[in-house]
Amino acid sequence: MAYSDNASSLGRQMSFIILTCWLLPMVLAAAILGGYLAFGLGRQTEQAMAEQFQLNLQMGADRVDSAIEASRLPSYDPDLREAWSQYERDGFYPVLYRRASALFTRLYQADSRFLYGVFCFSEDPQRRTITVVSGSSGLPNSQVRDCWQLDFPAVQELAGGLDTAVGFLEQDGRVYLVRNLMDSRYEPIGVLALALNLSYYFEDLSLLSWTSQVTVHLEPDTWLPIKGDEAPQPGRGILEQAVKGRSCRVSGMAALDYDVLLAGFAPYRYLLGAMGLSLLLLLLLTFRFFRRKISQPIDALMAGASEIREGALGRQIACQTGSREFTYLTDSFNQMSAQLQNQFNRLYQEELARRDAQIKALQAHINPHFLNNTLESINWQARMAGDTAASKMIEALSTVLDAALDRKGRPEVRLAEEMTYVNAYLYIIAQRFGKRLQVDIDLPDELMDCMVPRLILQPVIENAVEHGVGPGGRGRIALRGCLREGFLILEIENDGGLSPEDEAHIARLLSPDYDVLGEPSRNIGIANVNLRLRILYGPACGLTIFPGEGTLVTARLTIALSRG
């Protein structure tokens, strides 16, 4: 690995980081905060306050919208229109009064948005009046009547020019929502005046602590003092916002209270001075500590590593760091420097020896060389004696042994060739069990060109036959295969069942840590298959055995897909 000589040292990088990440930000923060304190609120703060003011104003507008919607409710009530129609026919006012009074009481007596409501019939409006006082207002009826007598002329004047629209009227701090109620012929039934509970609509604006004066304008010409006795005058420190509801447009002005806004920043001047002095002292201590405890030990380690890189194995360094961590690193460096070459050589040789011994041990279990020539002699004698059945069995066994000997030294063969060994083995088994053993093979033709390890199926099928044929001497073996996501899947199924002891034994044989070298040869068949697949194709491949429905047991071989 090469290192650039132009790269900055750790000490310089650390100095740069301290200056840029500590000192410079502190200086900039002090300058920004000082400017903020000197020149008042910044644009961002004013924008945030403007957004908050607009949000609270919008909430008030939405509530005014809800009041306007509530004022429309009598217009849609059929009882009022029916009572008015009956009154026009018979002229009997008490029935009209009773039904209208019940309606307005139901609509507005429990509505906290209004202090009270007054409805004046179009005929004789001064005497024919229905008054509903909200239960939450706490106003006595006598006070409401006195206020209404004062406000009645202005309400009537405003209603005369509204037609079907809605208007607002402010009278000595009392704000009315005024509208005309019409019958089906758009003839006036009367005038509805609802006294707004201003604390419900605009209390959020009055609670803004950073404002000294707030005024709300309900268009077209109703001005409401929400906070303070005087309306703010346009200029610096004045927020002006306008919002639109569904049925109204509301604007507002607020005067900023700078005394409140800046009151919390006075201690920062002293804090900045203390932080500046502390920062200078911290910088000096940090540089000194870093040089003695970190920079010098690292330089020594880098020098030693550079020499080892050049071939000076065994290089020892001496550095008095005064810290437990770097003392440990120095000692470890010296030990690793002395042992590095020997350790690499030993590990490399052990790995080669382990792999060689493992592969030879696997091959030794499945390569009985000495039997081949003997079987050829026996087969010749059987033919001479006319024993055709024995000759065919010997030929099948010879086919299996030829596969085991692998004279061509091929680690993989086509599945089609592997099936010749399987068929030879099954022929031998068929002579033993006859019709008591049923064998079903379902392998699509497109799988036959897939490459598989030599003699990978026979040990698994042999294990299935051994455990799948029951005490009665009967059993069923099924072999099937498919392609799945880049892997060849081969499954051998038998109906012999699995006991808990069998499952524990299989789990031990198929464990990644299982050592086939110390196991008796009769137990290593499936372990051999699993280990070969994992060595050849990696940990994603191998052999798994699991129970199915009833007594079915499935052995699944997963092989990384390749073509011959």
- pLDDT number for residue 555: 93
CATH no. for residue 510? 3.30.565.10
In a domain, 316, yes or no: no
Mark which of 228, 262, 296 sits at the end of a domain: 262
How far lies 248's CA from each of 3, 67, 108, 117, 244, in Å? 73, 11, 21, 20, 6
- pLDDT number for residue 357: 44
Reduced to 3 states, what is the DSSP secondary structure of residue 444? coil
Q: How far apart are the first and last CA of the chain?
A: 40
Q: Please tell me whether residues 185 and 251 are part of one structural domain.
A: yes
In a domain, 403, yes or no: no
Q: Please tell me whether residues 104 and 211 are part of one structural domain.
A: yes
- pLDDT number for residue 263: 65
- For residue 537 the two structure tokens come to 């194709």
Check if the beta carbon of residue 529 is closer than 8 Å to that of residue 471.
Answer: no
In a domain, 410, yes or no: no
Q: Please tell me whether residues 148 and 206 are part of one structural domain.
A: yes
The interaxial angle of helices 43-72 and 198-206, nearest 10 deg, is 180
Pairwise CA distance, residues 97 & 113, whole Å:
24
Q: Please tell me whether residues 142 and 227 are part of one structural domain.
A: yes
Pairwise CA distance, residues 460 & 525, whole Å:
7
Q: Please tell me whether residues 49 and 192 are part of one structural domain.
A: yes
Q: Please tell me whether residues 32 and 52 are part of one structural domain.
A: no
pTM, 2 dp: 0.44
Mark which of 252, 274, 305 sits at the end of a domain: 305
In a domain, 471, yes or no: yes
Q: Please tell me whether residues 56 and 134 are part of one structural domain.
A: yes
Mark which of 277, 305, 333 sits at the end of a domain: 305
Q: Please tell me whether residues 169 and 296 are part of one structural domain.
A: no
- pLDDT number for residue 3: 46
pLDDT digits (tens, 9 = 90+) for 325-378: 667 777 777 777 777 766 655 555 545 545 554 554 455 444 454 455 555 555
In a domain, 371, yes or no: no
Count the domains in the chain. Answer: 3
Q: Please tell me whether residues 147 and 38 are part of one structural domain.
A: no
CATH no. for residue 128? 3.30.450
- pLDDT number for residue 489: 94
Q: Which helix (H) or strand (E) holds 197?
A: none
In a domain, 415, yes or no: no
- What parts of the chain have a pLDDT lower than 70? 1-16, 18-19, 21-23, 26, 30, 33-44, 235, 260-269, 272, 311, 313-314, 319-323, 325-326, 341-409, 470-473, 515-524, 563-564
Residue 107: domain span: 44-262
In a domain, 56, yes or no: yes
Pairwise CA distance, residues 300 & 294, whole Å:
10
94: cis peptide before it, omega within 30°? no
Q: Please tell me whether residues 80 and 216 are part of one structural domain.
A: yes
In a domain, 408, yes or no: no
Q: Please tell me whether residues 459 and 470 are part of one structural domain.
A: yes
Q: Please tell me whether residues 254 and 272 are part of one structural domain.
A: no
- pLDDT number for residue 78: 87
